[in-house]
Structure 1
Amino acid sequence: MKMRLDRTKLLNHINDSDIQSQLTKIIDKAEQCLRTHQPNATDFYEPHIIAKVSGILIQVPDLHFTIAGGYSEAERRRIVVYPDYMEYDNELEHISVLQINSLKPISHPQVLGTLTGLGIKREKIGDIITTDKYCQVIMDKTVAEFARYNIETIGRVKVTIDETGRDKISLPECQLKEITTTVASMRLDGIVAAGFNIPRQVATNLIKADKVKCNWEIAKSPAVQIEVNDLISCRKHGRIKVVEIIGTTKKDRIKIKINKLQ
């Protein structure tokens, strides 16, 4: 008997066509798992996709799923779907960890550019962790060996690549700069301007150019209202997080605390 999930019912609350397309691919994986009784792993996705698909898959009977990114703090993760009677094992995740060693520091964009330059799709790559001495890349196991044997340089820096274990993943400490400032309102453009110390018009232009994300989704409007714990990223500027609304000033401006990730 063919297993066919009701996509209309599962996706009727999703309005964004691009997100619908990504979620449909994940539902296809779940459907294949139920039909063949074999586990299946999706591509790597950003947190907002993972959150949406988790709410969908939990509605599917006879199916279990696990979210995996190689380590507990991973940002880009994949979903492993498997029959509800099957015992879970990390091997089902099909994740490899490559360590790229170099004599000079290499950056996240350089590593990502080299990998995609080989024809490896972004969706097959999880987190990229850089340190002063090496870089670690979480990848789909099916493309990791290809990357390992086809990369000799990144930029102009010679590198060596080894496969390592998940227990060897080392995250650099995240340094935060705490900013206390005031804004006229909790509009996105004002928060971006205050958090990144740029003119408000520049912030507005960045948002309109789709260079700003709120909670990992491209911001649709400068007028989006920001709440405490919202994470905002801006291309080439970094990330900020609104951590507290302290109160209002005598001039009715809102006093807030922002953490900027260094």
Structure 2
Amino acid sequence: MKNRTEILRALAQDEDDRLLLARLLDRLDASENYPTATRFLSPRERTLAEDAVRLAGAASRCAFFGGWEDAERTVALLFPGWMDAADAAAAAPIALLRAEKSPADTLSHRDYLGSLMGLQIERAMVGDILVHDAGADLFVLREAAEFLLLHFDRVGRRRITLSEIPLSELRRAETAETSGEGSVASLRLDSVAALIFGLPRAQAQEAVAHGSVYLNGRVCLKPDHEIAAGDRLTLRGKGRARVEALGGMSRKGRQFLRFTRSAP
């Protein structure tokens, strides 16, 4: 177990990291008495938060939740030892808003996010935005929901209707999913990512080094990390994938695997 100073020294790479971690550790101290939560974290920020909580010896009092099981942006839920993660998730300060548009309008994730930023909403107040044919479902912090329900009525020049709905009524983003299979020399992260996303091995290694590859929701900077069946990979700008099954070995010693992939 490390103290606050040691954690900041070990993990913070710049002033933004230091501020993020300091706020997290403040909330972690407070959570010994009552549950609390951070704002929405990016995958990299989540990795920092997970490492900080682990170093503080409090991993059992922390969970991450973004409103649905495949969330990319999540809040860190911090809670007392007598509370469990399910109860903390049920009390998470997250609201789900549904934006409905005209069938004639075509609006992208960038359109919705840009309009939210135009209302001076901080990025950390907004979680995943799932675009579908009828509009989009947006996860936001509850503290921002009332303001948005009053003021978020246009995306660009297009009018929308906004309402709050239960988390259970989420409409998934409609993305085409494809299945594939192939073989790799080894189950290293860079090799598997190169196969799934159709990249040269060197380009996959570069993506890992730059923090653009996420493994099971965490940034993974280890190109030699061994992949297992069920692992979820995300490559920024290329989409998401899941390793469905590992097959046998070829006569040349290559590992077969099956995967599904969806576009970004």
TM-score normalised by length of structure 1 = 0.74
Instruction: State the partner residue of 2:187.
Output: 186
Distance 1:135 1:256, change over 3 A: same
Q: CA deviation at 1:53?
A: 6.1
The 1:26–1:249 alpha-carbon spacing in structure 2 relative to 1, beyond 3 Å, is same
CA separation in 1, counterparts of 2:221 and 2:58?
29
* Corresponding residue for residue 164 of structure 2: 163
Give the whole-Å Cα distance in 1 for the aligned partners of 2:252 and 2:83.
61
Deviates most, 99-108 or 113-122: 113-122
Residue matched to 2:227: 227
Contact (CA 8 Å) 1:80, 1:92: kept in 2 or not? no
Alignment check: 8 A CA contact 1:230 1:242 kept = yes
**How far apart are the structure 1 equivalents of 2:209 and 2:88?**
44
Q: Deviations over 1:155-174 (max 9, x none)?
A: 44322212223343233577
Residues 1:70 and 2:71 are matched in the alignment = no
Partners in 1 of 2:209 and 2:82 — Cα distance?
A: 48
Closer/same/farther in 2, CA of residues 33 and 202 from structure 1, 3 Å limit: closer
Q: Deviation per CA, 1:117-139, whole angstroms, max 9, x where unpaired? A: 43322222222222110211111
The answer for the alignment partner of 1:41 in structure 2 is 37
Cα deviation per residue 1:14-71 (whole Å; 9 max; x = unaligned)?
Answer: 944257764442221132345xx554322123464565466567749xx966654334
User: Which 10-residue stretch deviates more, 118-127 or 131-140?
Assistant: 118-127
String of CA shifts for 1:129-155, please: whole Å, max 9, x gaps: 221102111111222233333333324
Structure 2 alignment gaps of length 5 or more: none
Q: Which amino acid in the other structure matches residue 107 of structure 2?
A: I
Q: 1:217 and 1:252 mapped to 2: Cα distance?
A: 30
- Closer/same/farther in 2, CA of residues 253 and 99 from structure 1, 3 Å limit: same
| Cα distance between partner residues in 2 of 1:158 and 1:40 | 35
Amino acid at match of 1:26: L
Displacement of 1:209: 4.4
SS of 1:158's partner is strand
Distance 1:91 1:157 in 2: 34
- Bigger Cα displacement from structure 2, 116-125 vs 167-176: 167-176
Please give the alpha-carbon distance, in whole angstroms, between the structure 1 residues aligned to 2:58 and 2:237.
Answer: 39
Gaps of 5+ in 1: none
User: Counterpart of 1:233 in structure 2: which amino acid?
Assistant: T
What letter corresponds to residue 248 of structure 1 in structure 2? M
Note if contact 1:213-1:232 (Cα within 8 Å) is conserved in structure 2.
yes
In the TM superposition, what is the alpha-carbon distance from 1:102 to its structure 2 partner? 0.8
Rounded to whole Å, the distance in 1 between the matches of 2:195 and 2:82 is 52
| Distance in 2 separating the partners of 1:66 and 1:205 | 30
Task: Tell me which amino acid in the other structure corresponds to 1:226.
Answer: E
Which amino acid is 1:99 matched to? R
CA distance in 2, matches of 1:207, 1:66: 25
> Does the CA-based 8 Å contact 2:101-2:159 persist in structure 1?
yes
Distance of aligned partners of 1:32 and 1:209 in 2 relative to their CA distance in 1, 3 Å threshold:
closer
Post-superposition offset of 1:195: 0.6
Query: Any conservation in 2 of the 1:50–1:77 contact (CA below 8 Å)?
Result: no
CA contact (8 A) 2:93 2:142 kept: yes
Say if 1:217 and 1:113 are closer, same or farther in 2 by CA, change over 3 A.
farther
The corresponding residue for 2:26 is 28
TM-score, scaled relative to structure 2: 0.74
SS for the counterpart of 1:192 is helix
Question: Residue 180 of structure 2: SS of its match in structure 1?
Answer: strand
Matches within 5 A, 1:190-229: 190-220=191-221, 223-228=223-228, 229=230
Residue 101 of structure 1: CA displacement? 0.9
> How many Å separate the matches in 1 of 2:109 and 2:174?
16
In the other structure, the counterpart of 1:254 is: 255
Aligned residues of 1:105 and 1:133 also touching (Cα < 8 A): no
Aligned to 1:94: 93
- Deviation string 1:219-239 (CA, Å, 9 cap, x unpaired) is 435x33331133221222101
1:44 touches 1:126 (CA, 8 Å); kept in 2?
A: yes
Is the CA contact (8 Å cut-off) linking 2:24 and 2:49 kept in structure 1?
A: no
